[in-house]
Structure 1
C-alpha cells in the first residue's frame, strides 16, 4: 500500500512541476497568439497562429521592421510592423517610406504594390500630421500593418509605448502547410 501511495505521490509531483513550468514559460517567455484580421496581409493571414517571444525585448531593443505584438487601446492585442524607433522622423510620399530623410525599401510590400492600380498603397503623411511631433518620442514606437489600406495602426491610434509591447513574433506554426519564419 505504501509503495502505491509513494508512486502516486511521485506522479502528482511530476504533474504539478510540469504544469508550473508550462505556466512560467507561457507567462514569462513565449506565448501563442492568433492573427485576427487582414491588417498584416500578405505577410500574415487571418487565423495564422504564431509564437510571441516575450523575453527578446527585455534583453534588447526592437529593431526597425520587427513584427511585434502589443496591447492596443481597445483592450486587444495587435500585431504590426515596427516602422519608426524613438527619435526617428517618419514620412511617406510617392508610396515610399522615408526615415530621417532616407528612403527605405519595404520588400514585404512588393507583392501588394504590384496589384494596386488605383493610387498608392500607402497614402502620403508625415509624423507631425499624425501625432503633432516631428519625431517618434523616446520610449515609443511607430507601427504599421503591411496591408496599408486596411490597417488600424499608429496612423490611427498613435505611437505605442514600449511598456505596451508584449514581444516580437516571427514564427507561424499553424496551419501546418503554412509553417514559416516571417520577416
Structure 2
C-alpha cells in the first residue's frame, strides 16, 4: 500500500491558512463592532451652534460628546449637556448647562438663581441676566425634567423661554466632554475660580 506523504504534509498548511483567515475575519468584525459601539453608544463629534454658551464654547467649536456618561449616572448640576428635542422647531443638537434637577423648584430673583428657596453659587462667569423669562416665577420640575441655561445669559434660548422650556432625560444625548480646538475639557472652561486666578 502506497502512502501519499505530499498530501499529508499539505494538511497542516491548509489548517494554518484557515485559522489565519478566521482570525483575520474575527479581527475585522471586532473593529467594526468597536467602531459601531463608539459611534452609537460612547462618543460622538458635533459642533457648537451659535453664541449661547460663550465664553465657555464658541460658535463652530468642535465638541466630543460622552454619550456613555449618563447610562449609569444621572446628569448633575452644572454639567454641560448636549440634547435634541423631538417635535420642537429646532432639530439640531443643542448645548446648555444644567441648573435645575428633577423635582426641584427653581426661580431667578435679582439675578440670583434659587433652588428650593436657597441661592446657589454659580460656578461660571456670566453677565447679569436682563430677562428671567418663565423663571421669574417659581418653576417646579417634573421627575425627569432639567432646567438649563446658556452661559451667555443674554443671548441664549434656554429653559427660561417656552420655545425651549425644560428638557427631559431622554432628550439628553450626552455630556459635552472635550473641546477639540483649542483642546480642553469642557468642564474646565470659563470657571469663576480660574478666571479670578488669571485676573
Q: Report the TM-score, using the length of structure 2 for normalisation.
A: 0.73
Conserved in 1, the CA contact under 8 Å of 2:107 and 2:139?
Answer: no
DSSP-derived class of the 2:71 partner: helix
Among 164, 171, 178, the alignment partner of 1:164 is 171
Residues 128 and 105 (structure 1), Cα distance of their counterparts in 2 relative to 1, 3 Å cut = closer
- For structure 2, list consecutive stretches of 5 or more residues without a partner in the other structure: 1-13, 188-199
Structure 2: distance between partners of 1:105 and 1:122: 19
* Counterpart contact for 1:97–1:104, Cα < 8 Å: yes
Distance 2:17 2:60 in 1: 46
C-alpha distance in structure 2 between counterparts of 1:125 and 1:76, whole Å: 23
Instruction: Please state if 1:80 is matched with 2:89.
Output: no
Q: Which consecutive unaligned segments of at least 5 residues does structure 1 have?
A: 114-119
Structure 2 equivalent of residue 61 of structure 1: 74
Instruction: Report the counterpart of residue 116 of structure 1 in structure 2.
Output: none
Deviation at 1:39, TM superposition (A): 0.8
Q: How does 1:114-125 map to 2 (within 5 A)?
A: 120-125=128-133
Q: Deviations over 1:96-125 (max 9, x none)?
A: 21111111222312xx43xxxxxx434235
Q: CA deviation at 1:180?
A: 0.9
Q: State the superposition RMSD in angstroms.
A: 2.4
Which of the two has higher C-alpha Rg?
A: 2
SS at 1:14 equivalent: helix
Count residues in correspondence: 169
Normalized against structure 1, the TM-score is what? Answer: 0.79
Match of 1:181?
185
Q: Which has the bigger relative contact order, CA under 8 A and spacing at least 6?
A: 1
Hey, what's the Cα distance between the residues in 2 that align with 1:7 and 1:168? 41
